Amino acid sequence: MASFDTSAETSMTTPIAIPEQAYLRSELERRQSRLKSAMAMPRASASISALLNEVDAALARMNQGTYGLCDECHAPIENDRLLADPLVRFCLDDLSGEERHALEGDLAMAAQIQRALLPGRNLSTQHWSVHYHYAPAGVVSGDYCDLFHSNNDLLFLLGDVSGKGVAASMLMSHLHATFRSLANLDLPLDRMVQAANRIFAESTLAGQYATLVVGRASQDGTVELVSAGHLPLIHLCGDDPAVAESTGLPLGMFTTAGFTVHRLHLAPGDGLLAYTDGMTEARNHAGEEYGVLRMKKLAASRHKKCPETLIADCLDDLQQFTAGLKPTDDLTLMAIQRAAG
């Protein structure tokens, strides 16, 4: 059975931040309206009446300034749980045994659904080989990883949604559905990311965003890249790898944001390495970060290795660096290599 972390921040001076509260108020009012319409129908069930009472009570608590506080201990309830269920009234520490068991089951199901959204572990074509590693720090992850064919090209995506836990995993699923739908339209890469950004910005809360690398690899070795505020992509092209920096703002910050396409050419045997900050921000016992520079040096010494071996070596080096410390963030790596010929 999956477990969950009960150490979420509770040091907030207010129950929930203003942007989230505005969103939750509109969500509760929308549910209230629908439940009232359902109550007006013949033979309305007692369960509808009970739900309406819960929604009314939540809105009343919001008006009183106590919404988001645990009924038992009066500490703030975890934000990701409120975003997933606006009617939650108890923090994790004050759930009954039965409620904790039910929540664990829900989280296990969410993790199963999220794993089902991931692409196949290895993808080898006549022109490209790809391997990735996806490791949530908890039950579910806010990291985003996808890989699929689109009109004879290989489309690859790797990113990191702000926040952690259930709320971040829901946004990850949202990105997955958005890009899978847009890929069918055969848009230029910059227009695809612009459309995804607009959808993401219009359907998320203020302050929610995602850093993301989107790439399109063609059969001739040409790769188009858009990096929306993400960590530098490493171009494995010799003993001194090049670095492809961000070409735009993170997704979700501004509805009308534009994105620049970066183009490069991979010779046979060359590759790309993308990663999330679960790698570069991992710390050792002295509190030092792993960092992009160490990542680049490691990749340089292994630039001709196949994607699976490259990622295995990265994980081994990270394990040596952290010396067994428990990961505090989700970790995703993706390596892409052009076929040798």
Domain segments of the chain as ranges: 18-95, 118-338
| Mean pLDDT score, 278-301 | 93
The pLDDT tens digits for 187-209 are: 999 999 999 999 998 877 767 88
pLDDT at residue number 6: 38
- pLDDT > 50? residue 29: yes
The pLDDT tens digits for 32-84 are: 888 888 888 777 678 888 888 999 999 999 999 899 898 888 888 887 778 77
Q: What is the mean pLDDT of the chain?
A: 85
The pLDDT tens digits for 326-336 are: 988 999 999 99
- On the question of a common fold for 18-95 and 118-338, the answer reads no
The pLDDT tens digits for 78-134 are: 877 787 778 888 887 877 777 777 766 767 777 777 788 888 776 777 899 999 999
Please state the three-class secondary structure of the chain as a single string. CCCCCCCCCCCCCCCCCHHHHHHHHHHHHHHHHHHHHHHCCCCCCHHHHHHHHHHHHHHHHHHHCCCCECCCCCCECCHHHHHHCCCCCCCHHHCCHHHHHHHHHHHHHHHHHHHHHCCCCEEECCCEEEEEEEECCCCCCCEEEEEEEECCEEEEEEEEECCCHHHHHHHHHHHHHHHHHHHCCCCCHHHHHHHHHHHHHHCCCCCCCEEEEEEEECCCCEEEEEEECCCCEEEECCCCCEEECCCECCECCCCCCCCCCEEEECCCCCEEEEECHHHHCCECCCCCECHHHHHHHHHHCCCCCCHHHHHHHHHHHHHHHHCCCCCCCCEEEEEEEECCC
Q: Which of 105-114, 170-179, 245-254 has the lowest mean pLDDT?
A: 105-114
Q: Which fold has domain 18-95?
A: Four Helix Bundle (Hemerythrin (Met), subunit A) (1.20.120)
- pLDDT > 50? residue 7: no
> Hey, which CATH number is domain 118-338, 3.60.40.10, 3.40.50.720, 3.30.465.10, 3.40.50.460?
3.60.40.10
